[in-house]
Structure 1
Amino acid sequence: MAGAESGSKKSVLFICLGNICRSPITEAVFLDIIKKKGQRDQWNVDSAAIGDWHVGGPPDKRTMKTLKKKGIENYQHVVRQINVEDFYNFDVIFGMDKQNIKDLKDIQPKGSKAVLEMLGTYDPECKLIIEDPYYGSRIEDFEEVFDHVVRCCEAYLKRIQTEAP
């Protein structure tokens, strides 16, 4: 889905290095949560990569296996790289680690509306960095990412609803 075309919708973009593990898991989790809350039509949600290594391809097989195991079966995504328009189209762009945020700050155009945040700042367990499971061989690493981003997304949504006028 593209960025926020409608000013009435809230919009979030989830970023990780390659858009095959952490950010698609987070996008799928966020979409699942807002769908269950009956809020899907109030949001524009997407995910993208810092780099272009996997553009046009699917998420990692372990990502999809984890989502299915956790009950999210209809998620579809084609990897894409962040672009300049994203900084104007999304309210918040979430990075998964400090390097993502540094990279985002390096490419963010002056005057763009997007707020850059680390998703982990919302973790009630105070685990700031959402670790990249790509290089490990354990499916449990992907499941840990899933559980971590569930906590963060739920806490973020709770804060947004608390701050709403």
Structure 2
Amino acid sequence: MDNQNNNTKKVLMICLGNICRSPIAEAVFRRRIEQLGKTNDWLVDSAAALVGEHTGKRPDKRALNILEKNHFCYDGRAGPITKDDFFTFDYIFGMDKPNMISLNKMKPKESKAQLLMLGDYGLPVDDKIIVDPYYLSGEEPFVKVYDQCVIACAEFLKQFYNAT
């Protein structure tokens, strides 16, 4: 955070428990801004929207495996979204409709955060929901989450930079 400037944009990735989708999305977004040479322009984090039972825990082993296979080193731990986050972050991305419903209920009226569904960026209409892979077996659902995040993060940043 020491390299932030007044124009730093802040992004918070949200999923149910902050152990699967949002850590993957956080890591992917970070990688994309590195590739664009825009690391100093962004602060990226992740949190849980509904379930705080994983607070302080590492991401699911399958999420970590997918990140490792794609040459990411992720050392974050799960944490809950707070009321302050709606004033701190410019963009808060949910992964599915229940995330978005929860975020909209929690968002204070006077907050600055834009609530967006990550899958609305670059994903086909029938694949916009980034499904929670936690209760699904194997790593394949985590691969799909990763692939969706790669596309969506790249498309959001493409649209962001073409609009500014």
TM-score, length-scaled by structure 1: 0.93
Gaps of 5+ in 1: none
Structure 1: distance between partners of 2:122 and 2:17: 22
Report the AA paired with residue 154 of structure 1: A
Structure 2: distance between partners of 1:11 and 1:158: 16
Q: CA deviation at 1:125?
A: 2.6
Q: CA deviation at 1:6?
A: 4.7
Structure 2: distance between partners of 1:10 and 1:17: 23
* 1:28-67: CA deviation from partner (whole Å, max 9, x where unpaired): 0011111122111110100000121100111111110000
SS at the partner of 1:41?
helix
Structure 1: distance between partners of 2:95 and 2:150: 13
Structure 1: distance between partners of 2:123 and 2:56: 34
Q: 1:8 matched to which residue of 2?
A: 7
Structure 1: distance between partners of 2:108 and 2:45: 19
SS at the partner of 1:79?
coil
Structure 2: distance between partners of 1:35 and 1:11: 15
SS at the partner of 1:111?
coil
Report the AA paired with residue 147 of structure 1: D
Gaps of 5+ in 2: none
Report the AA paired with residue 143 of structure 2: E
Q: 2:75 matched to which residue of 1?
A: 76
Q: 2:155 matched to which residue of 1?
A: 155
Q: 2:86 matched to which residue of 1?
A: 87
